[in-house]
Structure formats: structure tokens, C-alpha cells
Amino acid sequence: MRSSPLLLSLPLLALAACTAGADYQGPASAGAPAAPETFARAGDMVSAATPAPARWWTSLGDPVLNDLEERALAHNPDLAVAQARLHQARAGLRLDRANGLPNGNASIMYAHAQLPGIDLSSLTGGEDGDGGSGDSGSEGESGGGSESLNFYNLGFDASWEIDLFGGQRRTVEASRASLEAAQATLADAQVSLAAEVASAYVNLRDRQQRLAFAEQAAARQHEALDLTRQRYARGTTSALDVERQNSLAEQSDAALLPLKAERDAYLNALAVLTGQVPGTLDAQLAAPAAVPLPPAEVAVGDPGALLQRRPDIRAAERQLAAATAKIGVAKAARFPHISFMGILGIGGTKPDSMVDFDNLAAIAMPQIKWNILDFGRNSARIGQAEGGRDEAAARYRKAVLGALRDAEDSLSRYGASRQTVASAARTRASAERTATLTRQRFGSGTTSRIELLDAERQLINADQSLSQATAAMTADYIAVQKALGLGWD
């Protein structure tokens, strides 16, 4: 009794329900630390309410900023790169799914052969020995000859490798996880972009305000210099006082230059972030405006929700899933591969032979391949895949710890910046009272115009410090939103 190929393959088919490699059990297997119940640096300025992930910048109440954010999300080049990578990942998943299906090819062939000194009558069906089919013939001079042959063929072949041990399934699993990682990476790019646009906008408004204050201070300093020169001309002050006032005026003028350069740099940054050439937004943003203020209370939720929401953590977790699936791909390669191939062909020496089913030829070829002597190559591939899984797990742990640190650091800075703004506001109020009292004394004739100018200049400096502190507070609020993983749809 002879064994059929099917009976020989039954032991292998019995293992078909097994998929090589361990099933992914989720991020807990990565050994990531458990998130605390609350943020240690939250303070009394935050709320435990769960924040909404998208469009947090609307809480700043600035329509111009809202417009810039929408433009950036629609036209930013970095987002275009992330979206292109997402499209590649989608196509890769479709390709891996298709690779598990049968593969078929159709072909039409025409061949012409010119062969010297060979009788082709047996091939062409002729009876006179000279290729009498009409498609072959004898030609040449005396003392030599050749035979020609035309051949036409219409064929179809199909092949299919059975995913017996789940290698293809693991490949699709890894590809699907990579696609989800690309989606999370796109969301992370949106988070970073939203924060970058808001930070550049806040810095622009801060530089515009501080530049206006600096110009006012410089104007008063030059007025003080003019008055000192007049007094020197009348002999009521010394040349040393003139030089001191001149030095202060030079310093005031010099302070304008870096503010102008920084203002232009932020204008350029906003243009590029919104996908436009530098200078495009100059007219729209030329008029100074106040720095937008954050809300009185900030919703931060809890650390556990943060870890589920932050796109970079989700991307790291999906990369871990993909790396785990690749171990199964490598392990499945150790086992036999069963494939089937079939070929159908119709042909002959005339064109109409391609529609004559009497000329049909069919071949079926089941095949089993098993690399039983690879000298440790596949074991090395499994080791590489396991190393990749361990690296992905370490990156996931790093992402979790980094996210918790980002949140705690940003909350701490935000709390400190709110106190700094309060201190700067008190300093500004004191400078305003001093300027008011000096103005009253000047009106009564008990102090000089130069002293009044100095008091007003101190008030302007306090205004600059308050503007700078306010911008820093809003920037820290933006950093909190980024650390919470907000800004994506």
C-alpha cells in the first residue's frame, strides 16, 4: 500500500492550529512602572477633571492663534511627512495581507527558432520531413540548410504557500501594529505642532509688547539726555552727568535690536509652521497684541489617563506589539513550508492552437520545503527578533517615565510661573505708585523733569518684566498641555 502525499502531510496539517511565537499580552508585560493616583506637583491651580484631547488652545481665547493652529494642522510639512508614513504603513498592511493569498500569472508567448541542420517535421506535424506545417521551412544555399519553427503558447500558473505555522499571520499582526504606531506618531506630531505654534505666537506677542515698552523707555532716556545737555550748557550740571545719560541712551537703543530680531524670527517661524514662506504673515501679525492668558484652572486628570492618552506612549506600545509579533515570524521559519503550484498551458506551432483545448497541458506540483541544516541562521534571527522586542519594551518603559516626568516638571514650572507673575504685578503696582507720586511732586515743583522721566522709565521696565513673566506663564501652560498629550484629533 502506497502512502499518498496527503497522508504524509497529515502530521504537519495537525499543527496548523498552532501559531509560532507568544501572543502579545499587552504593555503590562513590558514591566512599566505603575502610574501614581495623582500628580505630585499638581498644586491648587489644577483640576482632576479629564481634559479634552483636541483644540486646547481655544482656552486661551485668542482668535488669531486659533486661526494659526488650524492653518498649521492643515498645511504643516512635518504633518505631511507623518501622514505619508501613515499611508506607507497602510499600504504595507495591505501588501502583507495579500501575500497570504494565492498568486496567479497569465502569459502569452510567441517564439521563433532558426535551427541549422535539424529536421523539425516531427515537431511541426509535417509528413515530408521539411517542416511541412507551413510555419517551418527549409532555406539556405546548397551545402547547408536550416529549419525554422514558430511556437505559440497561452499559459496560466498559480502558487500558494499555506501559512501552516502562522508566520504570515504574525507578519500581518506586526504590520497592523506598525500601522497603529504610525497613527499614534501622526497624533504625536499634531501634539508637538500645536504646542510649537502656540509657543511661537506667545513669544511673538511678548516680543512685540516688550519692544513697544523698550521704545518708550528709549524715548524717555533720550529726553533725559537732552535735558542734561541743556543743563550742562547752562552750567548747572557736569560733563560726567552728560556722559552717564548718553551711556544709558546707548544702552536703551541697543536693547531694541535683539527684540526686533527675535520678533522677526517668530514671524518667520509661524509662517513656516503654517506651511508658508517667511514674511507671509508679517502684515497680519504686525500690530502688537496682548499675550493670551491661560484659564484660572487647568484640567489635568490623573496620571493613568495620561499614559493612555499620550500618543508617544501609544506609539511605543504598538511598536512593542509589532516587535513581539516578529518573534513569531522568525520562529515559524524553522518549520516546514508547504506550497502548491499549478500550471495550465495551451499552445502549438500555429496561432489557432492557443484556442484548441486538445493541446491543453496541466501540471500540479505540491511541495514541502524544510531547511533542516542552516547552521544556526534562524536561531540567530530569533535572537535578533527577541532583542528587538526587549529594545521596544525598554523604549516603552522610557516613554512612560518620560511622560510622567514631563507632566510633573511642567506642572511645577507652571505653578512657579504663576507666582512669578503675581510678584511682577506687585512690582509693577509699586512702580506705578512711585511714578504717580513723582508726577505729583513734579507738578508742585519739588522734583525735576529728569527724576520724573526716571520714574516713568522704571514703570516701563516693570511693564516689560510683567509682560515677560506673563508670557513665561502662558508658555508653561502650553508645556502642560503638551505634556498631557493634548492637541490631536
Q: What is the mean pLDDT of residues 272-280?
A: 94
* Count: domains in the chain: 1
Domain hosting residue 255, numbered range: 37-112+149-483
Cα–Cα dist 236/238, whole Å: 7
- DSSP secondary structure, 25-66, as one string: --GGGGTPPPPPSS-TT-TTSEE-SPPPSS-GGGGG--HHHH
User: When comparing pLDDT for 260 and 166, which is higher?
Assistant: 260
Tell me whether residue 126 is in a domain.
no
d(CA 377, CA 385): 13
pTM: 0.80
Q: What is the CATH number of the domain that holds 384?
A: 1.20.1600.10
Task: Give residue 30's pLDDT band: very low, low, confident or very high (50, 70, 90).
Answer: low
* Cell triple for 275: 506651511
Is residue 82 within 8 A of residue 186, CB to CB? The reply is yes
- Is 488 inside a domain boundary? no
166, part of any domain: yes
Residue 11 falls within a domain, yes or no? no
Task: Tell me, yes or no, whether 52 lies in a domain.
Answer: yes
pLDDT digits (tens, 9 = 90+) for 342-385: 887 887 777 777 777 777 778 777 888 888 777 888 889 889 88
What is the percentage of the chain residues whose pLDDT exceeds 90? 37
| Any domain includes 9 | no
- Cell numbers 492557443 correspond to 354
Question: Is the pLDDT confidence value at 12 over 70?
Answer: no
138 within some domain: no
Whole-number Å distance between alpha carbons of 49 and 36: 16
